[in-house]
């Protein structure tokens, strides 16, 4: 059953984000991509396999991993202006591993990891431009969605398998590996161009605020309330944070347009 879940959940999210992006544009698709619907199942598998103590410490690694994911987005957006998707993706993946493991060496508990993640996200919002969205001029080939889903399934299976050999901090970092973003942004870049990829990444950055809130909430409540309740509270924090962040971003966007 766990193997089936690992093979189904991430591909389902890739399919959802792809269809949403095709219908409402890459920014909204990026918001869907940024929700912890990939790392969430990975965290659940860690808790079931390794226990609550391991999972609680893994939340710190997940938040450190978020710093790496932000580095992924910033480097990809910068590289996409100068190169095609393979070069941009290679640079972004390298940035993810360097940034996430470097920040974890500094150490610190849940509070320190959360502050580092929030600071990285605020910096990304200030740096990344509000890219002009573009739409595909031709329908994608029939195999496009299936290939994206297959890639996401293979990545998820590889990450959860490797995580079992590592400690909680490293497992959390690896569990935050941008599985869905890696697949969706590279396909978006290839099909729609660099501006669409940047718009998708910026939407993801906005939703990663809720990602941080989710795992801060889980880390604070896991031992006192149990796995099921802490996951439910984390999901509630995702909704609340998303509403607040999107409202603030739209207000700022309207003010910028009015100038």
DSSP 8-class letter at 137: S
**How long, in residues, is the chain?**
259
pTM (global) more than 0.75: yes
Cα 155 to Cα 11: distance, rounded to the nearest angstrom: 10
Q: Are 163 and 44 in contact (CB under 8 A)?
A: no
Number of helices (H), then strands (E), in the chain: 11, 0
Question: How far is it, in rounded angstroms, from Cα 61 to Cα 151?
Answer: 24
pLDDT digits (tens, 9 = 90+) for 115-164: 999 999 999 988 887 755 554 455 666 677 787 788 778 877 777 777 66
Q: Among residues of the chain, what percentage have pLDDT more than 90?
A: 31
**DSSP alpha helix (H) spans, 81-193:** 85-106, 110-127, 144-163, 168-175, 179-192
Q: Which tens digit of pLDDT belongs to each residue from 195-251?
A: 888 888 888 888 899 899 999 999 999 989 999 999 999 989 988 888 888 888 778
Asked if 36 and 178 touch (Cβ cutoff 8 Å), the reply is no
Q: How far apart are the first and last CA of the chain?
A: 55
Q: Quote the number of domains for the chain.
A: 1
Place of tokens 């099909």: 191
Q: Which domain holds residue 176?
A: 2-258
């Amino acid at each position: 059953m766990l193997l089936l879940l690992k093979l189904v959940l991430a591909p389902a999210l890739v399919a959802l984000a792809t269809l949403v992006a095709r219908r409402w544009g890459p920014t909204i698709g990026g918001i869907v991509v940024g929700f912890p619907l990939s790392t969430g199942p990975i965290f659940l598998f860690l808790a079931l396999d390794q226990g609550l103590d391991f999972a609680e410490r893994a939340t710190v690694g997940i938040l450190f991993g978020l710093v790496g994911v932000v580095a992924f987005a910033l480097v990809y957006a910068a590289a996409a202006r100068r190169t095609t998707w393979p070069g941009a993706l290679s640079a972004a993946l390298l940035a993810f591993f360097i940034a996430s493991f470097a920040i974890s060496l500094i150490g610190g508990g849940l509070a320190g990891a959360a502050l580092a993640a929030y600071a990285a996200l605020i910096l990304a919002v200030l740096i990344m431009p509000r890219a002009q969205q573009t739409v595909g001029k031709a329908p994608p080939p029939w195999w496009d969605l299936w290939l994206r889903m297959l890639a996401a399934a293979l990545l998820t299976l590889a990450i959860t398998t490797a995580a079992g050999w590592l400690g909680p901090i490293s497992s959390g970092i690896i569990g935050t590996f941008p599985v869905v973003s890696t697949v969706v942004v590279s396909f978006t870049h290839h099909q729609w161009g660099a501006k669409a990829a940047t718009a998708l990444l910026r939407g993801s950055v906005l939703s990663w605020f809720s990602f941080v809130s989710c795992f801060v909430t889980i880390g604070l409540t896991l031992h006192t309330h149990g796995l099921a309740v802490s996951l439910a509270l984390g999901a509630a924090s995702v909704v609340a944070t998303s509403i607040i962040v999107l409202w603030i971003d739209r207000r700022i966007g309207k003010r910028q347009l009015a100038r």
